Structure 1
């Protein structure tokens, strides 16, 4: 019986300096492992991004389980602040260190190892798909979306998908993500007329306008939450004028907000609200306000049911912990997968992700592999 070492595979992946958009050889490592186990591997590269699609079993089988994850990582920052080399994959006292140790090379290694061992030891009546991207930490324009576009064109289909992102806040097993809030940002540029501060009547000061607009937006209650989501939030993230003079009224200033929204709203409905508020303030202060909006992802929910039950059962069996079904946190590539099939997320504890000396307990990698293995076994039972 095959016994692929998920911790060793994690270390091999960490040694690949795959800071977005660089691949650093990470997908070569996975391609070699999966091809050797009978997976058909296809490189789906787009826009300078490397992605890997791997399938075991017949194409288009009615019962297909999918995993999704990423091998790209965020920059290391000040390397001199690291106690352990960011891409050294050093293990000390049962802890494996390195960029991507938590987010999420360990998750990819765990589900790849589980999939390889599963199809070799108990070949299922169905297919197993791994969709692995190198563009999750960046703009995500040519990563999982490229893989899903390829699948659509090639007639490939996952019936359900598990994204292996870190989901647990404190202990392995304590949280499964069944949805995510939507995310969007809006940039406001207020244009007035520059003038001398001693003669404000000869100018149009954009600063009171941006102050009023930001206050209106931040003071507005978007909603009170829903059955599965916390209340939506709006945060003012910057107000910029760049005016070093105390005797000059500037001609222009800018403000930016970020909104995390639940299923009460859509990106479109919130965009309309933001533009309406900007128009009201522009009229009140007799200035021009330009609005630029980017919706990073819509809110979504996979209602509790067969898929979340499948994952919960495996988590409980392997950890003794009953996971909470949650929609908290930021965005993930599940926001793209949800348009293809039912999707949930489950992975490691995320406390050290993106931090200096990012790390993961080696035993937790093995434990995560056992959870993924049980999920596969139960799904195809």
Structure 2
């Protein structure tokens, strides 16, 4: 599809995106039925094959659109989330979070950038390919994930666990952002640490080091831990990073608490992986328990571990997206992102992914989220061409 055809689709893409934004779908807050119902109605009206995805508990977590080609070949997937971040302080917004209005070339509202505009665009690409599907190799899947912002990635997990779905050779995720294609991201290792201590009265004449004080020492040990720098020789440009993201313990004023819980988030890279992250934390915990003994040892409960990933620019689907952008006159750079994303989950399953190329945006996960529409025809044309190149390659 060329740029002119992309422009012709803009009005319809925008209309569907507006309908989606008007349906609140905050992850873990709103039900996903209404927003997915908008998509189901749109897909059914165009006779596009689709079905609901459910998690292990039977909860609705997404939709899967499948356009099988008429020739043997690999399946490729487009992925966009249709749940959103919370609104936060609504009084701080200069427009309603579910506005969906277009003002001065910006589409306004939560999900405009992340990622209801991409979901609308990917549905249209599926509709464009359906009439010529017999001439294509493999097939195209469009995953509309309604459980992404919870961190569960329920839609993606249900898709990968679905035995009826063809395993994709690669995935292009529709996160926003112009000027670059995200081809990699740091991984993560997360854990909750429980620090114990004797409890006592805060006014007692007997000195008692409570769990909060012990936990504060642990934080200092962790902050002082040496992490490697970026290993540019490996082709991964970012260093690892350790953050204490939660610290809870105690109640009131008169008791020194016997327990304090910490959340630890370590972003991993190829030269410092999940094993290294866990080893570092266990060393710090062992140092705490040796220097400041307590009745019970400090406990570590690992929560999640995802590997880092990075595609070379000549690997698919990164190559197809970069080539399609170049053909559209866009000079994009390949970027490795600091935050983790669905690409890490896919990497754990051995599925390569890009995790971002889209329209410019503001207010992502913050107030006054908006997406700029002038670039939408170009973005549409790039994804359309990339998908066609992949489905015509086998």
The normalised TM-score by structure 1 is: 0.87
Q: Answer with 261-270 or 135-144: which moved more.
A: 261-270
Whether the aligned pair in 2 keeps the contact of 1:118 and 1:376 (CA below 8 Å) is no
> How far apart in 2 are the matches of 1:84 and 1:61?
49
Q: Secondary structure at the match of 2:374?
A: helix
What do you get for the CA RMSD once the two structures are aligned? 2.7
1:375 equivalent in structure 2: 386
Deviations 1:135-162 (A, max 9, x none): 0001325321011101xx1151222211
1:329 equivalent in structure 2: 338
Whether the aligned pair in 2 keeps the contact of 1:188 and 1:292 (CA below 8 Å) is yes
2:315 equivalent in structure 1: 306
1:27 equivalent in structure 2: 36
Q: Secondary structure at the match of 2:387?
A: helix
> How much does 1:233 deviate?
0.6
Whether the aligned pair in 1 keeps the contact of 2:228 and 2:272 (CA below 8 Å) is no
* 114, 120, 132: which one aligns with 1:103: 114
Instruction: Say yes or no: does 1:234 pair with 2:245.
Output: no
Aligned length: 372
Q: Give the gaps of 5 or more residues in structure 1.
A: none
Alignment of 1:218-229 (within 5 A): 218-226=223-231, 227-229=235-237
Instruction: Say yes or no: does 1:182 pair with 2:190.
Output: no
> How much does 1:201 deviate?
6.1
Q: Secondary structure at the match of 1:62?
A: strand
The 1:251/1:33 distance shift into structure 2, 3 A limit, reads closer
* 263, 273, 283: which one aligns with 1:266: 273
Whether the aligned pair in 2 keeps the contact of 1:107 and 1:347 (CA below 8 Å) is no
> How far apart in 2 are the matches of 1:379 and 1:58?
12
> How far apart in 2 are the matches of 1:341 and 1:124?
25
> How far apart in 2 are the matches of 1:19 and 1:202?
47
Instruction: Say yes or no: does 1:159 pair with 2:186.
Output: no
The 1:340/1:38 distance shift into structure 2, 3 A limit, reads farther
The normalised TM-score by structure 2 is: 0.84
Deviations 1:58-78 (A, max 9, x none): 499413221111101122223
Deviations 1:120-147 (A, max 9, x none): 3686422211111100001325321011
Q: Secondary structure at the match of 1:331?
A: coil
The 1:38/1:196 distance shift into structure 2, 3 A limit, reads closer
Whether the aligned pair in 2 keeps the contact of 1:232 and 1:259 (CA below 8 Å) is yes
Deviations 1:145-185 (A, max 9, x none): 011101xx11512222111112x3xxx2x221112211233
1:149 equivalent in structure 2: 161
The 1:61/1:79 distance shift into structure 2, 3 A limit, reads farther
2:84 equivalent in structure 1: 73
> How much does 1:270 deviate?
1.9
1:315 equivalent in structure 2: 325
> How much does 1:275 deviate?
2.1
Alignment of 1:22-171 (within 5 A): 22-46=31-55, 47=57, 48-58=59-69, 61-120=72-131, 124-126=135-137, 127-140=139-152, 142-150=154-162, 153-154=163-164, 156-166=166-176, 168=177
Whether the aligned pair in 1 keeps the contact of 2:69 and 2:133 (CA below 8 Å) is no
> How far apart in 2 are the matches of 1:78 and 1:12?
23
